[in-house]
Structure 1
Amino acid sequence: MAKEALSATEEAVGICKELADEDFTQHGAKFALMLNNRGAYLADLGQPDLALQAIRDAVEVYRSLPTPDEPGIARALTNLSAHLSDRGDIGDAQAAIEEAMKIRKRLTVRDPSHAPGLTDSLLTLAVMRFRRGNVGGSARATKRAVDISRQMASRNPKTHEPILARALIHYSDDLVSLGMAKPALNVAREAVSVTRRLVRENPNLFEPDFASALSNLAARLGDNGKSGEAFPVISEAVEIRERLASSNPVLHEAALGRSLNNLGTTLWSLKRFSDAEDVHRRALRIRRRLAVDNPSLHEADVAQSLFNLGQVIECLKRPGEARACFREAAELYGRLRRDNPAMTSRYLDAMAPLGQRQLNEDVESICAELRRNLYKK
């Protein structure tokens, strides 16, 4: 379906470009919209570089319009920010999303129908903050997104409940990262309740959201010591994502890897170590394959799977294999933390099983680095 949509959009881009060349004032905004859509379809087909260029082109066209199209450029800037963040270009990504936020706040004050766009920008900002280790800032953004989308859903559930569900899932992640496991579980349950209603009405459209909510709920149940309850929940999520990935691996394999990782962790908590090893190895194979094409987006997932696999193998009394997993995970996290401070705690977790002396040396190195950065400010 994405290929057919891209083909139609490519044709529309060509037509709109010819029209814009003849009369940019009248047709420039439509040309920019088609470029932005082209970027979205290219991303769905696993072509991130071409997608990013298309979205950059859309932003440039929007900026050139004699009469500003504020909703259009805000939408393109939000997409640009998400793609830049996935590539690790955090500074440019933050600049883009902050510009989009300013525009959408202004639009929403004038017309509340722009609130869904503001929510979308808030969630993009939250993801960026979370990846940089600013969990408190992420939680503030997601809480505001939840409040706005909940208010809108009370008036028009059919239109706004999908946005509410997405915001709830993000907020659940933020809460547990802040040590609020029980509130995070309550939020995750609400997300499942919302998406379950949506998937009953339109399974083809909302199955991915339902699987995301189930996977999130399973993780939150595990955080609260309820691994027995988590197992059927995460199993259902994996079943849905396996079916989705079989028909469209480019779009759904990364999500399948996340659910398999959650399933493996649940099995480990239930002391089903052999089953957990099989599942974690499958998740690792998927994530390694994805990281070949897009390392900035998927290497952290590879490191996570390696660490989790190491824990399982350690429980199976194969210390040599476990240490190899921990060592590779530590190498990946060590490289990633240079650009993403949020990875430092994961790096130390991976280093811990490799020996106290090495861990102490790395803790001192990190502290020295933090002191140097502090003195520079």
Structure 2
Amino acid sequence: MGFRVRSFCVLAAAGLLALPGARPAVAQTAAQTGVGSRVTVSADPEVLARSARDSRDAGDHAGAAEAFAEAGRALVLNHDAAGAAEAFTDAARSRLALGDVDGAYAVLAEAARRLEAAGPEAHGAAGRATASLARIRTNQGRYAEALALLDRSEALGGDALDGPGQAALAYDRARILDFLGRAEESEVHARRALTLRREHLGEADSLTGDAQNQLAVSLQAQGRYDEADRAYRGALTVYEAVNGPDHPHVAIALSNLGNILRRRGREHAAEPVYRRAVRIAESSGDDELLAQCLTNLGWHLRMTGRSPEADPVFRRAADLLVTVAGPDHPFTGIAFANLALILGDQDRHAEAEPLFVQALAALEPAVGTDSPDILATLDGYAHTLAKLDRKAEADAVYGRTLDIARSRLSPGHPEAMRQTVAVADFLLDDGRAAEARRHLDEAEAALFQRIGAATDPRAGALRRTQALFERQVRADWSLAHPARAENSLTPNP
């Protein structure tokens, strides 16, 4: 399973805690935030802020976090909502500098509570703090919580935000919905973010490139590869013009573009794009970005029949993700699934099976039990169960994949076609040709519906038609010659 690389600075403090509409920035000074510009009620915020800055400058991030938080509390009492929000944000940044994500979340949660309780005039600041809480949950892979927090953020003050602020919330919502497998909804919000950023920031702005990349991600998830290709290239053009050819943002667009090239059958063009993305990511210092770029390269190697080359690439990605994201993060779940698939390629199915279980344990709580993003993992798990002669369990998992494809993907979606072919192979191997033929016929009708609606590139559709027709021929042969079907050759996927 590959990554659609959504955004940069997945765990970086500056990007994580940027207020809606604001660019990631280092912690601001008292003069910039207004800390110390009011007469305090219970404490002197200027003294607290000075102490916080001194602690931070001395490398005492724990002391800085406490002092900034105290300044925030004092500023709430002084009815300085904007200054309080900035002070609490600085406290959270100091927590992140210690690697204490939970501590940063707690600080911002306190800020949101205090600011909301301070009255309607502080609700906009409370909404901005809540938006940062949503970003933390998104980056932790807790997407349902993130969406609820973003809803709360918009309810508190979304209408009062300027254009860039509205764009930031739309962008955040697009990311979360995409992670939850709700690609059509994600597209709507990504387009809004892109429109607003083009209007307020211009085309040549990195944030505009981010919105274009997210739009491409949403289109890719819907199998609209031609449109996604154009959007990824647009993001790449913006990133290279604004940041230079070796910036981490460029690696994001390149790795995603490689995915599209591969899916459109242009594997030879995809490989140098993937490798350039990895080279940039290696020099970026962002291990999570590197892991995602490595994963996409590894998936390309595996899909082009080079599993031995993919093995060390996947293992390196998994090691990085366990370290930077933890074993329970959905990104790490994808890494575990890829390792399991490689073991399956080597017929080491008994070793692969627990890795699939571990992968699903990380993925399902984050993206949902019916998410299209778990299809590849479920398919690999079902195949492994079949190879271990646990056919009843494999049958149940394959049935689940078809249910997801039918309920969550549009008719004729490329992933739905691939999954139908995989299920048909299992059923044919199990002597259930009539059942396989029924599923294949349904998929064929859906694919031609998609072609007729002009939502699928004809070349890609024809490749999927070939795979379906091959299985239909095999099913017909099995039905016509049941005694000889066991000795017939199985077409390659």
TM-score range, shorter chain: 0.7 to 0.9
Matched, 1:55 2:185: no
TM-fit CA distance, 1:335: 5.5
TM-fit CA distance, 1:8: 0.7
Letter in 1 for 2:263: R
Aligned partner (choices 357, 370, 377) of residue 235 of structure 1: 357
* Aligned 1:143-162 pairs, distance under 5 A: 143-153=275-285, 160-162=286-288
- Deviation string, structure 1 residues 154-179 (Cα, Å, up to 9, x no partner): xxxxxx11111111111111112222
**Range moving further from structure 2, 257-266 or 128-137:** 128-137
Q: Tell me, in whole angstroms, the C-alpha distance in 1 between the residues paired with 2:251 and 2:428.
A: 43
Aligned partner (choices 204, 210, 229) of residue 332 of structure 2: 210
**Range moving further from structure 2, 255-264 or 210-219:** 255-264
Paired residues of 1:3 and 1:45 also in contact (CA < 8 A): no
Distance verdict in 2 for CA 1:355–1:84, change over 3 Å: closer
Q: Which residue of 1 aligns with 2:301?
A: 175
Aligned partner (choices 418, 423, 437) of residue 309 of structure 1: 423
Q: Tell me, in whole angstroms, the C-alpha distance in 1 between the residues paired with 2:232 and 2:439.
A: 37
Paired residues of 1:133 and 1:340 also in contact (CA < 8 A): no
Paired residues of 1:333 and 1:344 also in contact (CA < 8 A): no
Distance verdict in 2 for CA 1:117–1:49, change over 3 Å: same
Q: Which residue of 2 aligns with 1:3?
A: 148
TM-fit CA distance, 1:320: 1.7
Q: Which residue of 1 aligns with 2:324?
A: 198
Q: Which has the higher helix share?
A: 1
Paired residues of 2:213 and 2:253 also in contact (CA < 8 A): yes
Q: Which residue of 2 aligns with 1:371?
A: none
Letter in 1 for 2:352: A
Runs of 4+ aligned residues of structure 1 deviating over 6 Å after TM superposition are 66-69, 356-359
TM-fit CA distance, 1:85: 3.4
Q: Which residue of 2 aligns with 1:23?
A: none
Q: Which residue of 1 aligns with 2:119?
A: none
Distance verdict in 2 for CA 1:71–1:275, change over 3 Å: same
Q: Tell me, in whole angstroms, the C-alpha distance in 2 between the residues paired with 1:51 and 1:356.
A: 39
Paired residues of 1:5 and 1:41 also in contact (CA < 8 A): no
Q: Tell me, in whole angstroms, the C-alpha distance in 2 between the residues paired with 1:11 and 1:90.
A: 37
Matched, 1:15 2:168: no
Distance verdict in 2 for CA 1:232–1:35, change over 3 Å: closer
Paired residues of 2:183 and 2:221 also in contact (CA < 8 A): no
TM-fit CA distance, 1:87: 4.0
TM-fit CA distance, 1:318: 2.4
TM-fit CA distance, 1:213: 0.6
Three-state SS of the structure 2 residue aligned to 1:355 is helix
Paired residues of 2:291 and 2:320 also in contact (CA < 8 A): yes
TM-fit CA distance, 1:357: 12
Letter in 1 for 2:274: T
Q: Which residue of 1 aligns with 2:392?
A: 274
Q: Which residue of 2 aligns with 1:129?
A: 261
Q: Tell me, in whole angstroms, the C-alpha distance in 2 between the residues paired with 1:218 and 1:333.
A: 30
Q: Which residue of 2 aligns with 1:339?
A: 457
Aligned partner (choices 405, 414, 419) of residue 287 of structure 1: 405
Q: Which residue of 2 aligns with 1:373?
A: none
Q: Which residue of 1 aligns with 2:206?
A: 71
Aligned partner (choices 211, 216, 232) of residue 81 of structure 1: 216
Q: Which residue of 2 aligns with 1:219?
A: 341
Letter in 2 for 1:322: A
Q: Which has the larger radius of gyration?
A: 2
Q: Identity over the aligned pairs, expressed in percent? A: 21
Three-state SS of the structure 2 residue aligned to 1:7 is helix
**Range moving further from structure 2, 123-132 or 349-358:** 349-358
Paired residues of 1:29 and 1:69 also in contact (CA < 8 A): no
Aligned partner (choices 263, 271, 274) of residue 139 of structure 1: 271
Q: Which residue of 2 aligns with 1:375?
A: none
Paired residues of 1:136 and 1:178 also in contact (CA < 8 A): no
* Aligned 1:22-37 pairs, distance under 5 A: 28-37=163-172
* Aligned 1:80-119 pairs, distance under 5 A: 80-109=215-244, 115-119=247-251
TM-fit CA distance, 1:73: 0.9
Q: How many correspondences in the alignment?
A: 328
Aligned partner (choices 470, 479, 482) of residue 352 of structure 1: 470
Q: Which residue of 2 aligns with 1:362?
A: none
TM-fit CA distance, 1:210: 0.8
Distance verdict in 2 for CA 1:87–1:257, change over 3 Å: closer
Structure with the larger RCO, 1 or 2 (CA within 8 Å, 6+ apart): 2
TM-fit CA distance, 1:48: 4.5
Three-state SS of the structure 1 residue aligned to 2:273 is helix
- Deviation string, structure 1 residues 121-151 (Cα, Å, up to 9, x no partner): 1222222222322222332222211111122
Structure 2 unmatched runs, 5+:
1-144, 478-493
Q: Tell me, in whole angstroms, the C-alpha distance in 2 between the residues paired with 1:240 and 1:45.
A: 14
Three-state SS of the structure 1 residue aligned to 2:338 is helix
TM-fit CA distance, 1:208: 0.2
